[in-house]
Structures are given as C-alpha cells and as structure tokens.
C-alpha cells in the first residue's frame, strides 16, 4: 500500500468529431457496421493539435484540478504508445510547452502501448512514496494520424485521439487515498498480434525496404480476444486476492476501452457488475494509452468516482500485457 494520491486529473479532446458515417464512407463499409461490430458511435481525431499540444493542455487541467502550479512539478513522465519525435523524449517538450521551470523537473517517457499510463503510475507512485519526487505529472497523449491502417478498417475505425493527465503526490495525513496494489504480466507469445512494425531500428523510415503499411497499425483482433480471455481470469482472480477486495466491493472499474467485445467480457465473464464499469468507448473510441486516464478523468469530473472510492484501473495492451492497479481514490 503506497500512500500516494491522484491529486488531480485533466484531459483534452481534439475539436474534430469523426462519425461512423464519415468512416463508413471512407472505407466503403455498410451503414451501421461500425456501431454494430465495435460499439463505437464517434471518436475525436486531431487536426492542428500535436501530441505535445494536447498533452500540455491535459497537464494544465490536471494541475488546476489539483490546485497546484506548474512550478510545483518536479517529475514529468510522458506515458504513451506514440511519441512526438524520436529524440528527445516527449516529456522534455511537455516541460517546455507547459512553461515549467528550466531544470526544475526530471523528464522521461514510458511505453507499454495501451498500458503505458498504468505502468507509469506504478513507477511514479513508488518514486513519490519514497520521496524522490514531490509532485509528478503523468501525461498520456495519443495522436494516431498516419498510423491508422487504411487496409485494415476494422482496426482503423476503433481509434480515437485524446490526451489525459494525472498529478501524483503523497497522500496528506488524515486522507485515505492510496495505491493499494499494482499487477502486470507480459505474454510475449502474443507480441505479434498487435504491431506497428516500423518506427524503430528493424524497419527504419529511411530503410528502402520499409513499406508504408509497416508504419501502420496491424491487429489480429480475434486471436487477441481469445488469448486475453484465456489468461485474464487467473490474472484478475490473483489481483483481487492481493488487494484483499471482493469484486462487489469495487466502486468503479475503469477498463482500457479496447473494443465493445473486450468491455462486454468484463461483465459477462469476469464478474464485474455493469454499473461498476466506466465506459466511454461509444463517444471516444479506443484512445490507446489515453483510454484509461481519460475515462477516469471524465468519471471523476462528472461525479461517478469520488474520494475514498475503491477503483480498479485495468486493461490489456500490445505485448501482450495485462495490467491492473487498485487505488483508493
């Protein structure tokens, strides 16, 4: 149990709304196919908004919600599947965009694809609990853009763009907020089920053998679904044993909004009640690593999650990685 607190949350949604009708026209899909298959009605997509621009606004809003100023921040972690550019890290550009004092914070990036925010929250919670940093800002900003695969509409229609941020501090005396338990497991037998082959050393952008499709998202949805279903049950059972919580004692479960099927299984197979689940998939789509902090930020903003609530953040990401963190909010 770590005595740290999510002191404030913020998010940013791109201005442009992309409807299913837009995408069904683009990809030549039957009207109604997207909502029927994915459960998504619309999603935002960035136009002029860069990864850093979206992230900085989410960060400012999280600081405002925490009642803290940018000068208080001594750690900035950019936690996302996507980065602004290869060098330097996105967090350094966030420091500059936020107007944070030069030299006043440590900046680095963490990547565990869709679970980047959860993995960052684990490390940051430990660093703040130990006193290495006093006020940490985790910023997750995802901008899909050219990474959408026009040859794979079933994945391209899923994704939305968004940024979300959280301020992490030590819990003040007499408050209950805590990180109760963090649990992850990577099953690399599934590493090739969700990929962008390019963007690294294996298929570098300047390598003449790199094709444009390698720089886009490829997913074997049904294989992921089967694999995740097989391994998630034991993982979640173990998670609840370690937290000491029963599933019915959870005030809210905030899942990664991978797809309608992935959310459905949480209720049908893993024992969550539908009213426990925080779901923004229909209006936001799958916002990659921003999905979990965005859904959390929206649920806190509209009062579905309150201080003292038992909240489980959980999901599946490329790798294939399972993750869950239990917090007393």
Catalytic residue positions, numbered: 114, 256, 286
How many chain residues are in contact with a copy of itself, going by CB under 8 A?
79
> In terms of CB distance, is 101 or 308 closer to a copy of itself?
101
Give, to the nearest 10 degrees, the angle between helix 116-129 and helix 291-301: 70
Q: How far is the CB of 276 from a copy of itself (least distance, A)?
A: 25
List the interface residues with a copy of itself, window 169-208 (CB under 8 A): 182, 184-189, 191, 194-207
Residue 12, C-beta contacts closer than 8 angstroms, at least 6 positions apart? 49, 54, 55, 57, 58, 61, 141, 162, 163, 164
Q: What are phi and psi of 177, to 5 degrees?
A: -55, 140
Contact 150, 283 (CB under 8 A): no
List the interface residues with a copy of itself, window 124-153 (CB under 8 A): 126-127, 129-130, 132, 143, 145-147
> In terms of CB distance, is 91 or 250 closer to a copy of itself?
91
Q: How many angstroms separate the first and last alpha carbons of the chain?
A: 13
**Which helix (H) or strand (E) segment is 299 a member of?**
helix 291-301
What is the token pair recorded at 57?
């606004």
> In terms of CB distance, is 95 or 276 closer to a copy of itself?
95
> In terms of CB distance, is 131 or 303 closer to a copy of itself?
131
Q: How far is the CB of 316 from a copy of itself (least distance, A)?
A: 12
Write the interaction track for a copy of itself spanning residues 203-242; mark x where CB under 8 A is met and - where it is not: xxxxx--x-x--xxx-------------x-----------
Counting every residue, how long is the chain?
329
Beta bridge partners, 313, equal: 254, 325
List the interface residues with a copy of itself, window 81-110 (CB under 8 A): 81-93, 95-96, 100, 102-110
Write the interaction track for a copy of itself spanning residues 45-84; mark x where CB under 8 A is met and - where it is not: -----xx------------------------x----xxxx
Task: Tell me which residue of 187, 213, 186, 189 sits closest to 199, measured CA to CA.
Answer: 213
List the interface residues with a copy of itself, window 290-319 (CB under 8 A): 317-319
């Amino acid at each position: 149990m770590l005595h740290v607190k999510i002191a404030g949350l913020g998010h940013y949604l791109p201005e442009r709304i992309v409807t299913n009708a837009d995408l069904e026209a683009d990809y030549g899909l039957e009207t109604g196919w997207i909502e029927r298959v994915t459960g998504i009605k619309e999603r935002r997509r960035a136009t002029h908004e860069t990864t850093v621009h979206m992230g900085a606004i989410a960060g400012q809003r999280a600081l405002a919600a925490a009642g803290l100023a940018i000068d208080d921040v001594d750690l900035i972690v950019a936690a996302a599947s996507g980065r602004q550019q290869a060098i330097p890290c996105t967090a350094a550009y966030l420091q500059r965009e936020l107007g944070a004092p030069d030299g006043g914070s440590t900046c680095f990036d963490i990547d565990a694809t869709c679970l980047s925010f959860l993995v960052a929250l684990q490390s940051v919670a430990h660093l703040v609990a130990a006193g290495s940093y006093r006020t940490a800002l985790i910023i997750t900003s995802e901008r899909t853009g050219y990474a959408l695969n026009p040859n794979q509409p079933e994945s391209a229609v899923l994704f939305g763009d968004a940024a979300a941020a959280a301020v992490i501090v030590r819990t003040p005396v007499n408050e209950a907020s805590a990180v109760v338990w963090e649990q992850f497991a990577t099953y690399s037998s599934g590493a090739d089920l969700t990929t962008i082959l390019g963007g690294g050393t294996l298929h570098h952008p300047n390598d003449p053998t790199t094709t444009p499709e390698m720089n886009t998202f490829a997913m074997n949805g049904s294989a992921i679904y089967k694999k995740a279903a097989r391994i998630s049950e034991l993982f979640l059972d173990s998670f609840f044993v370690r937290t000491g919580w029963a599933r019915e004692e959870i005030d809210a479960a905030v899942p990664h909004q991978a797809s309608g099927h992935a959310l459905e299984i949480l209720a049908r197979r893993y024992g969550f009640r539908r009213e426990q689940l925080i779901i923004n998939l229909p209006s936001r789509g799958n916002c990659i690593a921003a999905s979990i902090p965005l859904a959390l930020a929206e649920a806190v903003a509209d009062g579905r999650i309150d201080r003292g609530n038992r909240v489980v953040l959980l999901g599946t990401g490329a790798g294939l990685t399972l993750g869950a963190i239990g917090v007393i909010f």
